[in-house]
Amino acid sequence: MKSKKLLLASIMAGLAVGTAQAQNANEVNLGVVTFLSGPAASPFGVPARNAAELLIQEFNAGTAPAPYNEKGFGGLPIKMTLIDEAGSSTSVVTEYRNLVQRDKVDLIVGYISSGNCLAIAPVAEELKTVTFLFDCGTPRIFEEGKKDYVFRAVNHATADSVGAALYLKATNPNVKNFGGINQNYAWGQDSWNDFSGAMKQLYPGIEVTTSQMPKLFAGQYSAEISALMGSKSDVVHTSFWGGDLEAFILQSAPRGLYNNSEVVLAAGETAMFRLKDRIPDGTIIGARGPYGVLAPDTPINRWFREKFIDRYNVAPNYTAYQMANSIMAAKLGYEKAMAANGGKKPSSDELAAAIRGMEYEGPGGVHKFALSNGHQAVSETAYGRTKLVNGEMTIVDILRFPAEKVMPPDGVKSADWIAGGMK
């Protein structure tokens, strides 16, 4: 059986094939985990991998803009050890242990699935390995217990759900009822609970028509779409992602779901260009934060987009942005830790201490590790509506919401914050 493991070593100016070896004082072995096979690979995992390869090449060459212009991590070249996230949570945990115990990685950036993040977080704590969760959205990661070595460099799912509700309130204050279709696991459950809770706060007396919860990667949604259309909902919310999202769009648009309901695709940005002719105008689109087409116009964002397009002939989607933001946070944290210990490679404890509470700017704007004892980052979020212009998909009517409007205060659980009126 072929191993899922792909070992890639980036040496100074470029990437070259490498093999697992013991920790080396003269390089940084960075573990990167993302979907490289399965239905989430093409729209999610591969763009994230591409962002990682691009940044590591630029960092090793010293050609990234300040404050990322020092070569490698603090002058040490970066070797990337790349792993496929596909498989059961049990196999994902096994591969995580292999990264740490066999491949001797110094730190890890990875994981898209919320279920996988919940599985590996306690293992990261057990093995005392600094791990950046770059995409998975469930707020339960830090709400279910203090973490010392696990970080998330982007908002969690509460920002996506509350941001969507705020966008609806600002653009359609007369919503009377709503329904939803979300995957039946941590991400889908948390997203629906937060969205429905926020809608009830913003629209007193609003009615929930239906909540459809198919299994992850089901692929076929005929019965669920029938239920949604029969519910005659003013709004339909979904946090579908990857292959499930694209299948839902392809199956629901021809049946006319978008004609009578405002459809909110909370993670829809990854599909908007791939399915530009299939997504009806006016669909509300999110990018899990200020990423992709919703990213701010800054020098760092322009640099990242131009480099990505030049290398891959396609614009980076939001998972590419999340990976870029996370690796940039890792670089700054690593160099901060090195500066504090006389230029030596930091231990996991030294690295974690340097990251806690850190503020950084990536292509998705300014983020700060402000929650969960400095382990959970916060940032603004944004939503807009689709509009096809001369055959090209665009986003119009963009609204941005600051972090304090979409993320709970430190020490307050998301569900409690929403139930208390999102103060």
Whole-number pLDDT of residue 374 = 98
Q: How far is CA 403 from CA 26, 64, 123, 368, in A?
A: 39, 27, 30, 10
Nearest-angstrom CA–CA distance, 170 and 179: 19
Taking the CA atoms of residue 52, residue 55, residue 56 and residue 59 in that order, the dihedral angle to the nearest 10 degrees is: -160
**Which residue stretches of 62-173 are H helix?**
89-97, 114-127, 140-143, 157-171
The dihedral region occupied by 39, where left means phi > 0, alpha psi between -120 and 50, and beta the remainder, is: alpha
Residue pair 46/36 in contact (Cβ under 8 Å)? The answer is yes
Nearest-angstrom CA–CA distance, 137 and 317: 16
Whole-number pLDDT of residue 273 = 87
CA 279 to chain centre: 22
Nearest-angstrom CA–CA distance, 2 and 17: 17
Pairing mode, strands 6-11 and 207-212: unpaired
Residues lower than pLDDT 70 in the chain: 1-23
Same domain flag for 140 and 196: no
Same domain flag for 102 and 230: no
341 is a domain residue: yes
Same domain flag for 315 and 244: no
Whole-number pLDDT of residue 2 = 41
363 is a domain residue: yes
Residue with tokens 């339909």: 236
Q: pLDDT (tens digit, 9 = 90+) per residue, 370-407?
A: 999 999 999 999 999 999 999 999 999 999 999 999 99
Residue 215 DSSP code: P
Residue pair 67/332 in contact (Cβ under 8 Å)? The answer is yes
Which domain-ending residue is among 345, 363, 378?
A: 378
Q: How many CB atoms lie within 10 A of CB 223?
A: 10
Nearest-angstrom CA–CA distance, 264 and 415: 21
Taking the CA atoms of residue 263, residue 264, residue 269 and residue 272 in that order, the dihedral angle to the nearest 10 degrees is: 0
Q: How many CB atoms lie within 10 A of CB 248?
A: 25
Same domain flag for 393 and 325: no
Whole-number pLDDT of residue 17 = 32
Same domain flag for 280 and 306: no
176 is a domain residue: yes
Same domain flag for 225 and 370: no
**DSSP per residue over 218-233, as a string?**
----HHHHHHHHHHT-
Same domain flag for 90 and 76: yes
Same domain flag for 371 and 327: yes
Nearest-angstrom CA–CA distance, 265 and 185: 18
The closest of 248, 250, 364, 256 to 305, measured between CA atoms, is 364
Number of domains in the chain: 2
Indicate whether this model's pTM tops 0.85: yes
State phi, psi for 393 to the nearest 5 degrees: -75, 130
Q: Is 284 helix (H, G, I), strand (E, B) or coil?
A: strand
Nearest-angstrom CA–CA distance, 220 and 210: 18
Burial of residue 254 (CB within 10 Å: 0-12, 13-18, 19+) is exposed
Same domain flag for 91 and 33: yes
166 is a domain residue: yes
Domain range spanning residue 258? 158-293+380-419
Whole-number pLDDT of residue 25 = 82
Same domain flag for 363 and 271: no
Residue 302, domain CATH: 3.40.50.2300
Whole-number pLDDT of residue 9 = 39
Residues 6+ apart with CB under 8 A from 277: 388
Nearest-angstrom CA–CA distance, 224 and 194: 21
86 is a domain residue: yes
1 is a domain residue: no
State phi, psi for 177 to the nearest 5 degrees: -155, 165
137 is a domain residue: yes
Same domain flag for 128 and 144: yes
Whole-number pLDDT of residue 16 = 33
Residue pair 372/142 in contact (Cβ under 8 Å)? The answer is yes
209 is a domain residue: yes
Whole-number pLDDT of residue 23 = 65
Same domain flag for 329 and 402: no
